[in-house]
Amino acid sequence: MIVRPMQSWFRMLFVWNGSVLQTIIPQLIVIGILSSLAVLTHGRVFGEKIPLSTVPFTLFGLTLAIFLAFRNNASYARFTEGRQLWGNLLISSRTLMSQILCYLPDSVDEAGRTHVANTLIAFTYALKHQLRGTDASADLVRLIGKQRTEELASKRYKPVAILNDIRSHLAAPKGLRQESDMTRWMLDQQINELEKSVGGCERIASTPIPFAYSVLQHRTAYSYCMLLPFGLVDSTGIFTPLICVFIAYTFIALEAIANEVAEPFGLAPNALALDAITRTIERSILELCGREIPGEITPVRPYQFT
């Protein structure tokens, strides 16, 4: 994810890195060529004039804009929910670690606290990799060792298995044997919250926006942009390519943004900064334990004009 502080209006005009412009340039070139042909032929195809005016495009453009707004709202709702789930995961992770440190000072020794902390951090990395479909082995070996990583290799839902390890460790004879039922409930409640976050993330990742919406939006937007030059050529003349490319940029870019934001856990520039979030969770837990913390990962990048 790319996050930037507010800049001047002039610099915003030339932002390249993080915008969707670089992904839709081929489409804009096609629209530009089609618009230029419409100007050269005076709106004729095979010698026949296409009888289009600006009136139907005005009405249809308004309808298309409303539909694009609905699609973008649906996509952004998924993005927002994904960020809230990872925010809850951050809160529950460090709350669980803090409760273990404060309420189980005698039942869980130093080695046990280190083990729980590493396992809790491994859980967040495993979830990140599961949502992105990437290999978690390197991070898991670093945190919970090669043997346990190999045991988890056959697991389809590694984050759930790792949470089960934490619950099993806390419920072992050396864990909560002498503790009250209230303490058990309190710790288990935080583990349940982590499991809810996992389930919410899996729901978003496995339930995309219905394909029919994407197909309808895609066909409608491109049909509108390809027919637009023939409706404007009589009124805008040689400026038709410029106007059509600008309007096409608006509609096609909105579709591209919606597609990126609808997959909040992906690797697109406008997806969630899961690398930074998981590192923040790791740093927070290690700091609670009084251990050395790694460097911070920031999603902020400078403006690029090339």
pLDDT along the chain (306 residues), means of 10: 58 70 90 92 80 80 86 93 96 93 74 89 96 94 93 93 90 58 85 96 92 88 90 88 92 90 89 92 93 79 40
Sign of torsion over alpha carbons 146, 147, 148, 150: positive
Distance CA 33, CA 233 (A): 13
User: 194 CB contacts (<8 Å, ≥6 apart)?
Assistant: 89, 92, 93, 96, 123, 163
Four-CA torsion 20, 26, 31, 35, nearest 10 degrees: 130
Parse the chain into domains and list their residue ranges.
9-288
Q: pLDDT for 248-283, tens place per residue?
A: 999 999 889 898 899 999 988 888 999 999 999 999
Partnered with residue 284 across adjacent β-strands are none
Distance CA 253, CA 127 (A): 30
pLDDT at 79: 95
Of the candidates 205, 198, 197, which has an alpha carbon nearest to the alpha carbon of residue 78?
205
- Surface-to-core class of residue 76, CB atoms within 10 Å of its CB (0-12 exposed, 13-18 middle, 19+ buried): middle
Residue type, position 157, single letter: Y
Residue 102 and residue 245 in contact, taking contact as beta carbons nearer than 8 Å? no
- Surface-to-core class of residue 304, CB atoms within 10 Å of its CB (0-12 exposed, 13-18 middle, 19+ buried): exposed
